[in-house]
Structure 1
């Protein structure tokens, strides 16, 4: 039985009904129930007894119904006939319970829950700094979160943005901070503290949506690192023009692996090994250390240096520029994996 309850799901959709209209419908429903109780009490007024004057008027019926539903019960008007007592026990009592629950639920939904959610959101926002934001929790976005967790990034340092309640629920189940909303809106990105984030990963499922998110993000946080996934090769240039630092095309990357496998059966495995957190080797990116300045790229001891980024220019191991590393250089190196989380330096583009 318990397992069945845990598997129970329901189809949900956000209501477009305004708050005032939702509250109004609830009030009208309560008034309808009270009117039914008043009507039946009035029809069966002979079954009521008034200790004050012995006469039960319509005002007395309204008064008796209201104090019965609100469980006040002064005792001045009481049901004396079996039919009146039966109606009060079987009909008025359920109405009483339902009205109380309805008003408690309304207060919880529109007052307490919203206040609580806003307080929790403000508390989380205060702790967000140097975090990673995932805009879009589809296949690529969820795999990115799993890879980040495998690399040792705490779930508390990951924020997932998605308009789908189901996607947000899955991300929350992984321990991530979540926000159900539209990442193309300034207010949404500001709510997740994009200005103080380490990086933004965009995988919205549609290239046009992803590019629009990048444009909005670059407007909100001009210096944030943006990585973006596109499906069409033609959209790689617009994505970079929108402000993305890194543009990844899964189809093109798969083509590279396939082409590499044609040259040798182990090349594709090695490339996948480099990209995975549990591989024997890993790619790492970091800023050059002060002790390494002036030395060649081949002299670094933390790994095998394969590329140096100096400003907007990339240099390989054979370029003369890497024979003397400079302050501010960004080194991309191959390091020993063995389950060690990679160190990611902040690149300044």
Structure 2
């Protein structure tokens, strides 16, 4: 994601179920098919028609009469005179006329009124956004994060993607996400997606300086939202924390942890990857301590294997004295079997 372009209209967008050109083609084809059916009916029963001009009903007259009958009530120059022709016009052609008009009205709705309706609908959604996940930057890291969120049960429509690349947003829309073309380093862009009401924010802008600036802006707009950011240089990790990021992830460092762990045992890296993957046998869960757990040690959790405790902003391991007795307000990190419900909060970085 680049942070150089100015903001465009800060309006959300979401991909429709059918491409506009395909919808138009289908409607036009159906309309012509119905007109063709009516033409065949009138040509088959042309003996029941009378041309008041010359008395003869040609194929051109039938085509003319079909089009006039379908699109209007007719001019009276060609009329059905037999009982059969009138019954055919009443019970076969009239429904076709109604269907053709419904197609015309539906097309007008889809390509004119629906645009106004969709713009209004997305405005309403934008105003009522809450509990959503904001992903800033839909490059390699951002798109992989979104895929993992969906694999873990997040609904695509609950994810809002911000990027200044239309091509990236088109890919996100194809996956069902709500998108907005904007510069995420600006307050107005983040306020447009109601970042203060978001469940979490993932920053994957591609460049450390841009990512840190986005984190700084997001933290100012949304002081309490959980922010995770990808930083590629270890030197910039402290800056990201100072900017307000709750979780700082360095892909190279994480890969190094897996590689280094593998040298101390063939199953260490496998277990670490198992914790991180959505299809692993175990997963990490963060949650608040429950009233019945107060006073108990972290190691005695009934729901999982307690590994970490957060109290007043400080981190404590299960072996430390603070973990001997849980207190109200503590946050716990535990290892649970796959399939257990996850917390709404991401696990803090080690």
Q: Per-residue deviation at 1:223?
A: 1.2
Query: Aligned partners of 2:340, 2:131: CA distance in 1, in Å?
Result: 20
C-alpha spacing 1:152/1:259, structure 2 compared with 1 (3 Å): same
**Secondary structure of 2:205's aligned partner:** coil
Equivalent residue number for residue 271 of structure 2 = 270
Equivalent residue number for residue 331 of structure 2 = 330
Tell me whether 116-125 or 162-171 shows the greater mean CA deviation.
Answer: 116-125
**Secondary structure of 2:322's aligned partner:** helix
How many residues align structurally?
242
TM-score (norm 2): 0.65
Q: Per-residue deviation at 1:342?
A: 2.4
Query: Aligned partners of 1:208, 1:235: CA distance in 2, in Å?
Result: 8
8 Å CA contact 1:151–1:342 kept in 2: the answer is: no
Equivalent residue number for residue 176 of structure 1 = 177
Query: Aligned partners of 2:6, 2:245: CA distance in 1, in Å?
Result: 35
Q: Structure 1 stretches (4+) deviating beyond 6 angstroms?
A: 111-114
8 Å CA contact 1:287–1:346 kept in 2: the answer is: no
Query: Aligned partners of 2:145, 2:6: CA distance in 1, in Å?
Result: 31
Equivalent residue number for residue 344 of structure 1 = 344
Q: Indicate yes or no: 2:126 matched with 1:125.
A: yes
Q: Which runs of 5+ in 1 are unaligned?
A: 1-13, 17-107
Q: Per-residue deviation at 1:330?
A: 0.7
Q: Per-residue deviation at 1:181?
A: 1.1
Query: Aligned partners of 1:226, 1:164: CA distance in 2, in Å?
Result: 22
Measured on the aligned residues, the alpha-carbon RMSD in Å equals: 2.5
Query: Aligned partners of 2:6, 2:269: CA distance in 1, in Å?
Result: 48
Tell me whether 152-161 or 118-127 shows the greater mean CA deviation.
Answer: 118-127
Q: Which runs of 5+ in 2 are unaligned?
A: 8-109
Query: Aligned partners of 2:343, 2:247: CA distance in 1, in Å?
Result: 18
Q: Indicate yes or no: 2:312 matched with 1:311.
A: yes
Tell me: higher relative CO, structure 1 or 2? Use CA pairs within 8 A at least 6 residues apart: 2
Q: Per-residue deviation at 1:252?
A: 0.8
Query: Aligned partners of 2:310, 2:265: CA distance in 1, in Å?
Result: 29
C-alpha spacing 1:182/1:133, structure 2 compared with 1 (3 Å): same
Equivalent residue number for residue 212 of structure 1 = 213
Equivalent residue number for residue 237 of structure 1 = 238
Query: Aligned partners of 1:132, 1:200: CA distance in 2, in Å?
Result: 6
8 Å CA contact 1:287–1:345 kept in 2: the answer is: no
**In the TM superposition, what are the counterparts of 1:277-292 in structure 2 within 5 Å?**
277-292=278-293
**Secondary structure of 2:263's aligned partner:** helix
Query: Aligned partners of 2:284, 2:6: CA distance in 1, in Å?
Result: 46
TM-score (norm 1): 0.65
Query: Aligned partners of 1:316, 1:174: CA distance in 2, in Å?
Result: 40
**Secondary structure of 2:343's aligned partner:** coil
Query: Aligned partners of 2:126, 2:285: CA distance in 1, in Å?
Result: 29
8 Å CA contact 1:281–1:334 kept in 2: the answer is: yes
C-alpha spacing 1:320/1:122, structure 2 compared with 1 (3 Å): same
Equivalent residue number for residue 138 of structure 1 = 139
**Secondary structure of 1:306's aligned partner:** strand
8 Å CA contact 1:294–1:326 kept in 2: the answer is: yes
Query: Aligned partners of 2:347, 2:280: CA distance in 1, in Å?
Result: 24
